[in-house]
DNA sequence: AGGGGATATTCCTTGACTGGAATATAGCCA
DNA sequence: TGGCTATATTCCAGTCAAGGAATATCCCCT
């Protein structure tokens, strides 16, 4: 049910960018506009979609509205992902977990499959 | 990069349904058509999108083509999710971890909070 | 080679989503 | 109250994805 709007909300790259911004902390609309490079109306519209999906909540502070992430839908995504995670864990094992033991990165081996960087999109 | 097509591919409910089907095991197109209720051309088109996103791979068995999940993009999704997972784990802690005391998990290892529910959409 | 089944690909129409510009609304302060 | 700032909403045009129907393509079998 909420799944539908959740996926739809995250399908847009700009919206994912906004969500990534809010991961660092709450932001007012003006700040989001400044940091995302989107126009103000466009930002408001995207925030509306994110709000409808339950991904963000608003706190009204004087004239400005401060948006913050709501973790619940993310958890929902995670739950959806769970069965698949088993799958690729299994396949990683099959490929040989030994390769992961070398946690260092030797120069000349740029095969980074899994980064732990912030979501950039 | 591949992120874009990945999210776009999973944004569609029918496509997620197909992916959920393939989670149970590889399927031929005909079987997917039968189980998903979609038309054959529509199914082929959705499979094309999933293929472009790297979510499925095809094995050609005589005249039929058997589709199977490719775990890698799912892992990518999981990587994207990782920073947020910290967030909602934290908020779960804030809500009071004491409620979970009925479980048998040793403290200090909240790595697997997720259940093993099937993706319901 | 011909027939038939399985799958992919067009063509077309329709609906949804997006961005920009302009405008409306709401809350603060002098 | 008037004006200013911050945010939301409407209107509109362009774009893109989805479904249906028909058709093409590929592969096996006799």
Does B16 contact A7 at a Cβ distance shorter than 8 Å? yes
Domain presence at residue B43: yes
pLDDT at B101: 53
pLDDT at B100: 57
Q: How far apart are CA B65 and CA B94, in angstroms?
A: 49
Contact of A91 with chain B, judged by CB distance below 8 Å, is answered with yes
Chain B residues closer than 8 Å to A121 by CB: 3-4
CA A55 to chain centre: 10
Average pLDDT, chain B: 82
pLDDT at A3: 79
Give how many domains chain A has, as a whole number.
Answer: 1
Domain presence at residue B59: yes
Reported as a pLDDT band with limits 50, 70 and 90, residue B106 is very low
CATH of the domain at B65: 1.10.10.10
Residues B27 and B86 in one domain: no
pLDDT at A88: 73
Domain that holds residue B48: 2-70
Residues B29 and B65 in one domain: yes
Average pLDDT, chain A: 82
Residue A36 has pLDDT above 90, yes or no: yes
A83-92, A104-113, B44-53: least confident range: A104-113
**Better pLDDT: B58 or A120:** B58
Residue B109 has pLDDT above 50, yes or no: no
Give per-residue pLDDT as tens, A3-30: 789 999 999 999 999 999 999 999 999 9
Of B7, B78, B117, the CB nearest to A79: B117
pLDDT at A101: 54
- Given a contact cutoff of 8 angstroms between Cβ atoms, the answer to whether A54 and A72 are in contact is yes
Calculate mean pLDDT across residues B71-99: 79
Domain presence at residue B20: yes
**CA A58 to each of CA A65, A67, A72, B19, B60: distance values in angstroms, whole numbers, following the listed order:** 6, 5, 15, 34, 51
Within A1-121, strands assigned E span 27-28, 56-61, 64-69
Domain presence at residue B62: yes
Which pair of tokens denotes residue B52? 């472009």
Residue B8 has pLDDT above 80, yes or no: yes
A-B interface: how many C-beta pairs under 8 angstroms?
90
pLDDT at B93: 64
Residues B40 and B90 in one domain: no
B52 CB and strand D closer than 7 A = no
Does B115 contact A82 at a Cβ distance shorter than 8 Å? yes
Domain presence at residue B111: no
Domain presence at residue B16: yes
Which nucleotide C1' is nearest A45 CA? D8
Give per-residue pLDDT as tens, B10-19: 999 999 999 9
Residue A113 has pLDDT above 50, yes or no: no
Of A7, A69, A88, the CB nearest to B72: A88
């Amino acid at each position: 049910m909420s799944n539908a709007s959740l996926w739809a909300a995250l399908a847009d790259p700009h919206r994912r960018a906004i969500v990534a911004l809010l991961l660092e902390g709450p932001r007012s609309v003006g700040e989001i506009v400044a940091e995302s490079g989107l126009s103000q109306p466009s930002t408001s519209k995207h925030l509306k979609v994110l709000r409808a999906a339950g991904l963000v909540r608003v706190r009204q502070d004087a004239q400005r509205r401060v948006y913050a992430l709501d973790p619940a839908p993310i958890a929902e995504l995670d739950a959806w992902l769970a069965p698949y995670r088993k799958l690729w864990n299994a396949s990683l094992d099959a490929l040989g977990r030994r390769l992961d033991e070398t946690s260092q990165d030797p120069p000349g081996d740029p095969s980074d499959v899994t980064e732990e960087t912030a979501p950039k999109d």
